[in-house]
Structure 1
């Protein structure tokens, strides 16, 4: 369980909706996918230095963004599993690598983008690649749903990945 202190409302919340049993391990692995996680959730080491007692600090808005990234990745994993059944796991993994390369390109070319915007663009690119593959099976495009979920939080040019 993640114990998060929301600094803007001075309130503690407990968050259990993540895979695995070890919150620190989960956060460290999740930040490999979405580097903004370390900006959204700040670790607070306990005096005992026991990582099992670690807590986190965030603002309400940043915590909501974290939860949106987490649920977004869950959808991606489900769609990648479907794609790996249709094609194969190696093909699905290659799509993720393609999207990560595009994220790096955006970071290099669009220096004003925040880490959260770059993380959104990673999701956008993965879904675009999956959509292109699964449309052959009659699967609906997911990108309009993704854009709708993030509307109001990101600018239109980021939502649509148009620069």
Structure 2
């Protein structure tokens, strides 16, 4: 369970909706996928430095973005598993690598983008690549749903990945 103190409303919340049993390990692994996680949830180490008692600080808005990233990755994993059935694991892994390369390219060509915006664009690219593959099976495009979920969190330019 993640114990999170929302600094803007001075409220403590507990968050349990993540895979695994070790919250610190989960966060450290999740930030490898989405580096903005470490900006959205700030670790607060207890005085005795016991990682089991670690708490986190965030704002309501940042916490909502964290939850969007978490649920967004869950959808990506489901869609990648479907793609693995249709194609194979190596093909699905290559799609993720292509999206990572696109993110790296955007980091260099669009230095004004924040880490959170780059994380969204990484998800956007993965879904675009999956959409292109699964449309042959009659699967609906997911990108409109993704944009709708993130509306209000990011600019229209970022939502549409138009640079």
Interval of TM-score (by shorter of Structure 1 and Structure 2)? over 0.9
* 5+ residue gaps, structure 2: none
Offset from partner CA, 1:43-77 (integer Å, 9 cap, x none): 00011111000000000100000000000000000
Q: Which structure 2 residues correspond to residues 124-139 of structure 1 after superposition, within 5 A?
A: 124-139=124-139
Residue aligning to 2:39: 39
Separation of aligned partners in 2, 1:2 and 1:87? 37
Give the TM-score taking structure 2 as reference length.
0.99
Q: Aligned-pair distance for 1:119?
A: 0.2
Asked whether 1:151 is paired with 2:151, we answer yes
Q: Aligned-pair distance for 1:98?
A: 0.3
Separation of aligned partners in 1, 2:7 and 2:136? 47
The alignment yields a C-alpha RMSD, in angstroms, of 0.5
Separation of aligned partners in 1, 2:151 and 2:71? 16
Q: Which structure 2 residues correspond to residues 43-122 of structure 1 after superposition, within 5 A?
A: 43-122=43-122
Offset from partner CA, 1:80-108 (integer Å, 9 cap, x none): 00000100111101100000000011111
Residue aligning to 2:28: 28
Separation of aligned partners in 1, 2:18 and 2:91? 26
Aligned residue for 2:21, secondary structure, equals coil
Offset from partner CA, 1:13-59 (integer Å, 9 cap, x none): 00000000000000000000000000000000011111000000000
Q: Aligned-pair distance for 1:156?
A: 1.0
Runs of 4+ in 1 over 3 A off after TM superposition: none
* 5+ residue gaps, structure 1: none
In the alignment of these two chains, the number of paired residues is: 163
Asked whether 1:161 is paired with 2:161, we answer yes
Q: Aligned-pair distance for 1:152?
A: 1.4
